[in-house]
Amino acid sequence: GENVEQHPSTLSVQEGDSAVIKCTYSDSASNYFPWYKQELGKGPQLIIDIRSNVGEKKDQRIAVTLNKTAKHFSLHITETQPEDSAVYFCAASRGRTGANNLFFGTGTRLTVIP
Amino acid sequence: GAVVSQHPSRVICKSGTSVKIECRSLDFQATTMFWYRQFPKQSLMLMATSNEGSKATYEQGVEKDKFLINHASLTLSTLTVTSAHPEDSSFYICSARRSSGGFYEQYFGPGTRLTVT
């Protein structure tokens, strides 16, 4: 099955700086890579996703890059703000097929220091 | 769009009783929903896949007789924890799958904190 690894497990940045979280996956058939933000006591919220037919996607301060050859994808948050503090999970799945289980990384606890 | 609700958000029950958690997709139909369990400071652990009109598929190690899943309509799945024990205390989260552009997206509910005393 799929194995998703995520690094770092914790990340602290000063407000205004950038934050980068990296994930690798093992299943070359995976083609859908969402990122979720989970605040304390809440469910994960889908913040951005990328599909295997593109290499980069951006939405305001958030961007995700995908390298299919190397089987890794990254989340980039620019101009970080205190409200970006949360746990971020990457995930991978074979989005087009019926199985479509999301395989999650272990999470990154991001702390933005004001 | 793509809102998923869960009810209740918190529940405390006594050991030996049963608890039902509801998961609803509010603005889309979901033939497939998922139930996860999350321990403190850990990732999400998939418990089962709930399919509308058919039996749920449970992950290895998850007791189907203890965690009863019913997906009675395209917008509602329920998880019943039967004969709950303190070790069942956890954060339970559902997600609903939505088809988008040939891919499936998953949207999560806000979670239910279960405490068994």
Three-state SS letters, chain A = CCCEEEECCEEEEECCCCEEEEEEECCCCCCEEEEEEECCCCCCEEEEEEECCCCEEEECCEEEEEECCCCEEEEEECCCCHHHCEEEEEEEECCCCCCCCCEECCCEEEEEEC
pLDDT at A97 over 90: no
CA A26/CA A2 separation, integer angstroms: 6
pLDDT tens sequence across A5-20: 999 999 999 999 999 9
Provide the token pair at A4. Answer: 């998703």
pLDDT at B101: 75
- Please choose, from the candidates A79, A62, A68, the residue with its C-alpha nearest in 3D space to the C-alpha of residue A21: A62
Instruction: Please name which of A91, A95, A11, A98 lies closest in space to residue B44, comparing C-alpha atoms.
Output: A91
The predicted-structure confidence for B39-91, as pLDDT tens digits, reads as follows 988 899 999 999 888 889 999 999 999 999 999 899 999 999 999 999 999 99
| pLDDT recorded at residue B28 | 93
Contact residues, chain A, for B100 at CB < 8 Å: none
In the chain, the amino acid numbered A58 is: K
- Asked if B90 and B38 touch (Cβ cutoff 8 Å), the reply is yes
pLDDT at B104: 84
pLDDT of residue A1: 79
Contact assignment for A46 to B102 by CB distance below 8 Å: no
pLDDT digits (tens, 9 = 90+) for B11-44: 999 999 999 999 999 999 998 999 999 998 889 9
Largest Cα–Cα separation, chain A: 44
Distance CA B10, CA B88 (A): 14
Say which DSSP state B9 is in.
S
Please indicate whether, in this complex, the C-beta atoms of B107 and A106 are within 8 angstroms of each other: no
Pairing of strands A108-113, A10-14: parallel
Indicate the DSSP class of residue B87.
Answer: G
CB contact under 8 A, B44 and A101: no
* B108 contacts chain A (CB < 8 A): yes
DSSP structural state of residue B59: P
CB B116 within 8 A of CB B84: yes
A8 upstream amide cis, omega within 30 of 0: yes
Nearest to A43 among B102, B103, B110 (CB): B110
Instruction: Please check whether residue A41 touches B, CB under 8 A.
Output: yes
